[in-house]
Structures are given as structure tokens and as C-alpha cells.
Amino acid sequence: MPKVLIADKMSVSATEVFKNRGVDVDVITGLTKDELIKIIPEYDGLAVRSSTSPDAEIITAAKNLKVIGRAGIGVDNIHIPSATDRGIVVMNTPFGNAVTTAEHAIAMLFSAARQIPSASNRTQNGEWPKSDFKGVELFNKTLGIIGCGNIGALVAERALALKMKIIAFDPYLTPERAVKLGVEKVDIETVFKRADAITLHTPLVESTRNIVSEENLALTKKGVIIVNCARGGLVDEEALKAALESGHVRAAALDVFAVEPAKTNPLFGTPNFIATPHLGASTLEAQENVAVQIAEQMSDYLLTGAVSNALNTPSITAEEAPRLMPWIDLADKLGTMMGQLLQTPAKSVELTYKGQITQLNTNPLSAAALAGLLKTAMPEANMVSAPSLVKERGIAFKESYIDESERAESLIRIMVETDERKFAIVGTIYRGEPRIVRLFGVSMDAAFTPHMLYVRNEDRPGFVGQLGNLLGDAKINIATFSMGRMEVGGEAVCLVAIDGGVSEVTLKSIRELNHVKIVDLVSL
């Protein structure tokens, strides 16, 4: 039975989901780093929010960990590269608190436009400062949205209902999607120049760090409003403070800060500044949603292999998993065989999918094939780490599709180019079993077995008998024998399934047979 540790406070519903799904679960919150390192080897899954930070040291200690689940969106507290290297899936819940965060951004926008917190404080302190608060309407104003993904789109929907005009910057926002949302897609400079108010809904990466900078603030209209309910670090806090003090920025409302918990901050006490303690996802509904969702996602992965909302590996839905698993197994075997038979390093890899398989989610298949290919040289390679390992090593990768679903069986071909030549292996699923149908240009029908002897030789009479006799003398039993050739008298390929391994002495004897060119042992 898989075992999960819930290391941060979250709804009891998460525990109930794990237990109901047949997953053993412990809830231990408030652990120090050393305490977590000590117990983490016991667990297959780790569920966190923002308090626990699984860094490289913790992940290295997690010998059995298969998945880290973040109940929420931001994963800044998880060292994803280390998890990827170890084959640990990192997943989040990008939709569970989206509405709540969007509503908080709108609330902050209203609060900044009318300075509601300051007005409330002074009124309750016995003042009646009506003349000191001249707000601005949001009606007919231009809202600039930086990051128009799920949350940004929800903010746009609500701002449109307020009769605001929306401009948005997002590199991944298509023109068609922009039209559907009712927003104008613009570049980042245009957002800062045209917007009456700017709200941030983008991840924190190097390209977005301090995106609200001194230089960009200088582009804005006098009287602009800045709202950040996304990630700390998107705003240069010193620059924003200066812009507030000068009166260039009318008001700013931040729910997130560069350093949290923000017990002190340069912006605190600045006129027309509003702060909340990272409340974007803090509603009863959101907390329940993300807790249930992360428990369901982690359970699906640990019990069925289904992957949802993963940050470092392709997703596989629970519905897809039963259909995909045989093809993932085939892709892994094709890649493993190719990796063991290559004599020189790969320069490029192309995976071609043909037939009905083109209608499936092929991303996990490609990840499995790449993992198999790399395992000979890098035993630590896995479906999670393989795509990034291929990229790091400068190996060109390509996928192609031949959609002949009505006329042809489904096939996977892995073709690898080295300095010498191109090599290709083609496989399929026949009656539920993975089969090899073409090996290095030679047609055949062979099953994958734990031990296979690959022999490339000149097509000459008597060779098969010589090979059989040599294996017999070495007490090696032949399970199946598959053979094909390019042309009469040309090059032939033998794939011999054998019961057990082959000693170096026997391999040397096979290589010394007349007409033999290459001999290799494939182990699956």
C-alpha cells in the first residue's frame, strides 16, 4: 500500500480521500528540515502547501518518494530540478483556488481605487475624513493584465463586467483566445504605457522577476494603480515605494512579497499602500478544493499511474492510463533496445507514430522511449528526467505522425542518428503484447524477452546452423529465433531469444564466426 505524508496544514478532506482510495496517510505538520529528512524515506508521496520546502537535500533523502503534491498553484518552495533528476513527479492544483485568487485581485483593485482600508481605520479612530478621500471609478478605465492564464482570464471576465477595457500581455496568449476573452493582446511596454491599473498574474521566473521595475514604472501614466496577488518578487518593492511617495503611482495593493512571511517590508507605512498576508487562496472553498484535488491527483498517480497537473512530466489522465500503459511499455522497450545496440552516441532522435495511436496522448510514450534510450549510459534516467537530459546533452529530438488510423495498424518507430548512420526500430502491440516488426531495416516478427542476442551478419548458407551449434555447446537454450535480411546475399539480422545471459567467452566465439559483423546482448 502506498504511503503519503501530509506535511502542512490542509483540510481533513485530503486525509479522507487518501484513506478512501486505499492510500496509507500520516499527517505530521511543523516538521523541521532535519526531522523531515529523517522520516521522508518511509513515504511514496509528500503533500505540502507553502510552509514545507522540499529542497535538494530533502529530495535526495527521499529514497522511495514518487510524487510531491502542492495543494495550490505556486511551487517556488519545491526544488523541481532535484525532483526531476530523481524521477519524482511534482504536481500542483492550478484550478482549485483560481476563482478565489481572481476575486481577491478584484477586491484589492477596488480597495486601492477607493482607499477603503485607510478610510476605515481613520473613521474607526474617531475621525470623519471625508474630504481626504477622493477615489477613482473603475468604469471605463483600462486594466492591464500581465499574465492571462487561468487566473488572469478570470480577472478579465470580472473586470469586463465592471465595464473596464482590458489589455493583456502574455507570450502564450493566442489571438483567438484573446478575442474569446474579450481582451486586447499587447506587448509588455504597451501595458505599462496605456493601463490605468495593472494587475499581475504571472509565474515568478527570471524573465518576470521585478517586472514592475523602476524603468517600467516610469512608462506608466501618473495615477496608475498596481495590484499583485500572484508571486512575491514580481515587483521591485523599493522602486514601487519611491513611485508611491512621489505620487506617480496613485495606490498599490500587494498580497505577496519578495520575502515571506513579511514581518517587515520597505512598503509598509507608505501612503496609499495596502497589504494583505498572502490571502489570495484563503477562502473556505479554495482550501477545501485544493486539498481534495491534490489528494485525488496523488492517489491516482500512486495507484494507477495517472498524472494530472504535473510540472515536470507529461500528464496522463485516469481514463487514458489503461490504454496508454501497454504503449508506454513498448516505447520503453524500443528505447532500451536501441540504447543497448548503439555503438556510438546519438546525435538526434525521432519518434514516429502511425495509425490509431496518433489519436492518443503520445507525450508519455516519447518520455518513456527517451528514458529507455538513455538508461544504458545513464541508469538514473527516467520518464520524468529524460526529456530534460536529452535537451541538456544537445541531442535533437522530434516527433512525427502518420495518421492512417483506418488503414494501418498502430506502430511506433524510434530512429536515432549517430556519426555513423541512422538506425531505426519499429514496434507494435499484437494481442496485448509488444512486438518488434522491423529492426535496423530488416522486417521481422519478434517478441521482447529478458535476454536477446543480436547478430548482424552476411547472408550465407550454413550460418544459422553454426550459430545454433555454438550456443548449444555453451549450454544456452534458444527460446525463439527471428531472422531477416536486406536482400539475397546481403546483410542479415538475427534476434535470438535465449534463456539466460551469455558469457564474454561465448560472445567472443560468436564474433569469430565467419561472416559475423556485430554481436550484442540485449537485456530487458
Q: Which H or E element spans position 299?
A: helix 284-304
Label residue 357 exposed, middle or buried (CB < 10 Å: 0-12, 13-18, 19+). buried
**Residue bearing cell 553454426:** 466
Q: How far apart are CA 394 and CA 384, in angstroms?
A: 18
Q: Which among 70, 278, 456, 485 is annotated as catalytic?
A: 278
- What is the number of other CB atoms lying within 10 angstroms of the CB of residue 320? 16
Residue (of 92, 70, 90, 71) closest to 81 by Cα position: 90
Q: Is 278 known to be catalytic? A: yes
3-state secondary structure of 66: coil
Active-site residue, from 127, 260, 285, 420: 260
C-beta separation of 371 from 381 below 8 A: yes
C-alpha 442/C-alpha 448 separation (Å) is: 16
260 is catalytic: yes
Q: What's at 366, amino acid-wise? A: S
Is 325:407 a contact under the CB 8 Å cutoff?
no
Catalytic residue among 70, 86, 231, 456: 231
- CA separation for the pair 487, 110 (Å, rounded): 78
Q: Is 435 annotated as catalytic?
A: no
Q: Is residue 72 a contact partner of residue 49, using CB atoms and an 8 Å limit?
A: yes
Radius of gyration of the chain (CA): 30
- Can you read off the three cell numbers belonging to residue 437? 516488426
Task: Give the residue numbers annotated as catalytic, written as ranges.
Answer: 231, 260, 278
